[in-house]
Amino acid sequence: MPHTALRDIPVLRRVAASPGRPLAALCAVGVGLAWLTRWAVDDAYIGYVYSRNLAEGRGLVFNPGERVEGYTNFLWTLIHAAPIRFEWDPLLFSHVLGSVCFVATILASHRLAQRVLRDDVLALVAAAAVAVNGTLIRFSTSGIETLMQCAFLLGALVMPLDRDGGWTRRIGPWIGASACAAAALLTRLDSALMLLVWFGAFVAHERHDPASLRRRVAALVLPGAIPLVAWAWWKLDYYGSLLPNTLAAKTGGSRVQMFLVGLIYLAVAAISFGAPLLIGRLRTLRPALREHRLLVPLVTASALWTLYALWVGGDWMEFRFLAAAMPALAIALAVMLDPIRGRSRQIALLVGLLAFSANHLVASPLSPGVQNPGAMNEGTRLLRITGEELARRFPGDLADPDRPILAVSAAGALPYFSRLESVDVLGLTDDYVAAHGLYGDFYLPGHQLVAPINYLVRRRVNLIIALDGAITPQPDRKNYRLSELVEYYPIADLRDLPPAATVLEIPLEFGSIHAIYARANPAIDRLVDDGTWREYPILRSPLSAACLQSDLTQLVKLMGTKTCPNLK
């Protein structure tokens, strides 16, 4: 007689009953793929700039003397001061730490699924779904904190559960859960969303025993509150705010546009992971939710997290923002995969889901403003090369007043490797830009505003570098039209540049790049005078010659520009 459920297959039950080897294999596959596809997102280097300044005695700042919380991963950033202090490669350290956190995430997902579903086979299926998840694989070795948040969140969720899926009455596990919850919050403050739902379910279920509930709540809250209160006190004193500056920089645009872009982001994420293949199995969740009461807060927390992603308008990194909810969704997936409706159909479904997940290792999504890891890694590589070239041309220390000041649209690898003072024109690490930046006509995740030109002038910026890829120098070029520069720096009015501002073409190993030379600097002048860098005037008038419709790209038309009022 054919089996009607995965958990009824004898061989699976035997394997799942002693999960050590299969779990080790899953960890090896997941971490192996992660290591083979390791990469770096530019945002990782934003944190490394903060970490380096801390390690070198300047404090947790982006630029010396500017106290702005331009990161959202305090614990991750704090930890990375150690390898930098000992002159280790922080990216390699991130890759190793992220791989360890990925292993912890796989193991904790298995344990949580065991406790919630009370079935060894389904727990192994959930762990497998986590281990082969393309987004989790890629972001475990991306340089950012994604998997550390997942690991600490899962630790907080699973520690207070007994083997039979009940809330333990022992105090020790609650203290452990408190430590993991505090670490998750110190890693990313938005971890609170899932923690509140999960522990809210605990309070609701255990309210019949007030004395025991009070003891366990105290063990859950008090130990973790010590570092969290200290952190909050320090943030208020050091930065003057409990919330990071990045929140203002990323969520101040049109709510309607953010909602629509977030909706597209979630829809593309669902399609790209093969969710339509599971539509016919959604009805299996209803009896499972009745049978497994802890599945309810897990599904609720995942739903709340997707609403959070919708509220912030999605993200520009390929579905990294959804990673915290993915282990919980993997447990729900195990429930939906359990029924067997024909052997061939079951195999086809599993292969299809695996193919959709594996596609995230290589393919680019179809969501506006979202980049896949391959594109992001290439961008970071170009920024690193540019930063290393600037460091070679302008040696010295951050305290040297004669070195150029940069304005950058990618505030990670370029400032990190150049070691030059940098103004973040997107406002993530600059509180003035976050509060007074100019908004585009259309919302793109993480890139919805830019610094006004007059602010860059006040900051005495010498070079504006908004890397747009390599250019092909034209030997017969005489100047740059304003309309040729608006894609390079959209939204703002480039007519506000100082009258003497010019455009530089800087040769690098991958080609030449643009830079707007906004304020004179002797070291830059020497590079221009000896022909190392080529300089061109900016054609500003008449406007009919300085602004041509043919120069405007779709991006500029989407974002808008104040530079060329004669064009639409």
In the block, residue with structure tokens 């320090």: 234
Tens of pLDDT along 263-277? 999 999 999 899 999
Q: What is the mean pLDDT of residues 144-154?
A: 98
427 in the Ramachandran plot: left (φ > 0), alpha (ψ -120 to 50) or beta? left
Say what the pLDDT of residue 2 is.
57
Phi then psi dihedrals of residue 505, to 5 deg: -110, 115
How far are the Cα atoms of 91, 346, 418 from residue 396, in angstroms, in the given order?
23, 63, 10
Residue 326: pLDDT band by 50, 70, 90 thresholds?
very high
Phi then psi dihedrals of residue 424, to 5 deg: -80, 105
Residue 369: pLDDT band by 50, 70, 90 thresholds?
low
In the chain, what is the straight-line distance between the N-terminal and C-terminal CA atoms, in Å? 70
For the full predicted model, state whether its pTM sits above 0.85. Answer: yes
Element (H, E) at 153: helix 146-158
- Please count the CA atoms within 13 angstroms of the CA of 382 that sit on its side-chain side: 20
Say what the pLDDT of residue 124 is.
95
Which of 231-240, 445-454, 499-508, 541-550 shows the lowest per-residue confidence on average (mean pLDDT)?
445-454
Asked whether residue 493 carries a pLDDT value surpassing 80, the answer given is yes
Residue 1: pLDDT band by 50, 70, 90 thresholds?
very low
Distance CA 332, CA 28 (A): 24
Q: What is the mean pLDDT of residues 20-41?
A: 96
Distance CA 117, CA 123 (A): 7
Say what the pLDDT of residue 363 is.
62
Distance CA 300, CA 287 (A): 16
Burial class from Cβ neighbours inside 10 Å (0-12, 13-18, 19+) for residue 57 reads exposed
Note the Cα 560 to chain centre separation in Å.
26
Q: What is the mean pLDDT of residues 407-424?
A: 95
Tens of pLDDT along 176-231? 999 999 999 999 999 999 999 999 999 999 999 999 999 999 999 999 999 999 99
Q: Which two tokens stand for residue 387?
A: 């930063």
Task: Give residue 187's identity as a one-letter amino acid code.
Answer: T
Of 352 and 340, the structure prediction assigns the larger pLDDT to 352
How far are the Cα atoms of 182, 229, 309, 565 from residue 74, in angstroms, in the given order?
12, 14, 20, 43
Q: Which two tokens stand for residue 129?
A: 């779904």
